[in-house]
Structure 1
């Protein structure tokens, strides 16, 4: 089964537009994120999904520079964008990631994919966001292309098309959902990139941790927060 990671990115996806391509050490945050996702051992292909709006051209240009393919579609119909991406690149298993999570830990991504594959076909959707025990910004969703296709074909409201996975969860049903949780609850941490102060935090983390270890983990970030 081909595991296709779709990284959702847009200049207007944060409260402060353009934060995802703000630079740290001369590199955009999105470039760091792409580097981190590429460290996954279970992802077969990574595609960055963005809109056809001219304002998102910088994202496409960045992806060209780091040799990652992009798929462009409607800004509002994110569900359709994901469906068309999955269809074009023949993904069997879709991993949904967001550019608002530059600190995503590739080891945790691999754990999520591994758990999903282990319980498939009994599990058709798995996520660490339903019962949150991971920091916000460490969000991972894994589901089959067929489930994505079903959601796209049956969605009706603008909210269904814009938010993607709530409708998938509704269609799949509780018995086919896998909750990815850990024993140590870290849900009080917010590592998502939404505001300017979030970028300041990301900048500090990458400046301190990346030069020593480009594959720094969630645990490394926790240690940095606790010990400086």
Structure 2
């Protein structure tokens, strides 16, 4: 296969595709990706933010076959392609979406991160190239708030992972085979210098998470151009915001 082979001779940079995995069957907050946040779905918030990242050439939604109709409709409304694939083998779904869109570098962002910052995405992509690695991520060693989850992986590394990964959690969560096998892949943890805000939770798994995110969007008139630093300043100035979802525990890899 030629998928994922970086070809620097044809253009200035490898084709970089952001893939957003979207599903409706969340046990803690069903249909969460279509929940409203200030007049837009959560999925729309993620997509629009990613489209502002300068290092991204295309944004694609990867949906599970069994629940794809509503997500496909939302993708059409947003003007974003939706690739439909396996519900359980998410790695296969992700890989085939990347392959279908000629990705040489793939950026993975969850659909439950409506505060994803395009500047952070660009920083991760830049670090990926600068350090000449197979994989760069804000999640390997967390310093950013949860919800600024961004991974950049080479097409070659993704293809190898697709061929070799066998464990259920490796197939379901796409990238564990990479960051759990540093002897096979060059991994770069993208971290803040001298700062740690990982105690803050800006991802959406439960109703309390959604309440916080909606509150933050209201602080910015429901526009989605505010940065994570601006959101952090609001949270630091009003500690009651962080208390909204303080009791929500983080999901383990095996949870839906």
Change (3 A) 1:101 1:82: same
Aligned to 1:8: 21
Aligned to 1:20: 33
Distance 1:82 1:59 in 2: 15
Aligned to 1:188: 199
SS at match of 1:202: helix
Aligned to 1:160: 170
Counting matched residue pairs gives: 224
Contact 2:179–2:185 (CA under 8 A) maintained in structure 1: no
TM-score of the pair, normalised by structure 1 = 0.93
The correspondence of residues 136-215 of structure 1 with structure 2, limited to 5 A, is 136-173=146-183, 176-183=186-193, 184-211=195-222, 214-215=224-225
| Residue-by-residue CA offset, 1:7-56 (whole Å, 9 max, x unaligned) | 11111246211122111333212112211111100100110111011x33
Deviation at 1:210, TM superposition (A): 4.5
TM-score of the pair, normalised by structure 2 = 0.83
Distance 2:104 2:192 in 1: 26
Aligned to 1:216: 226
Structure with the bigger percentage of helix: 1
Contact 2:134–2:185 (CA under 8 A) maintained in structure 1: no
| Residue-by-residue CA offset, 1:99-136 (whole Å, 9 max, x unaligned) | 1111001001001101101122xx11111111110111
- Of 64, 82, 101, 1:51 maps to 64
Distance 1:50 1:180 in 2: 27
Distance 2:79 2:35 in 1: 19
Contact 1:11–1:19 (CA under 8 A) maintained in structure 2: yes
Distance 2:88 2:134 in 1: 25
Deviation at 1:61, TM superposition (A): 0.7
SS at match of 1:143: strand
SS at match of 1:191: coil
Question: What 5-or-longer segments of structure 2 have no aligned partner?
Answer: 1-13, 239-256
- Of 90, 94, 111, 1:82 maps to 94
State the Cα RMSD in Å.
1.6
Change (3 A) 1:97 1:116: same
The correspondence of residues 123-138 of structure 1 with structure 2, limited to 5 A, is 123-138=133-148
Distance 1:102 1:3 in 2: 21
Aligned to 1:116: 128
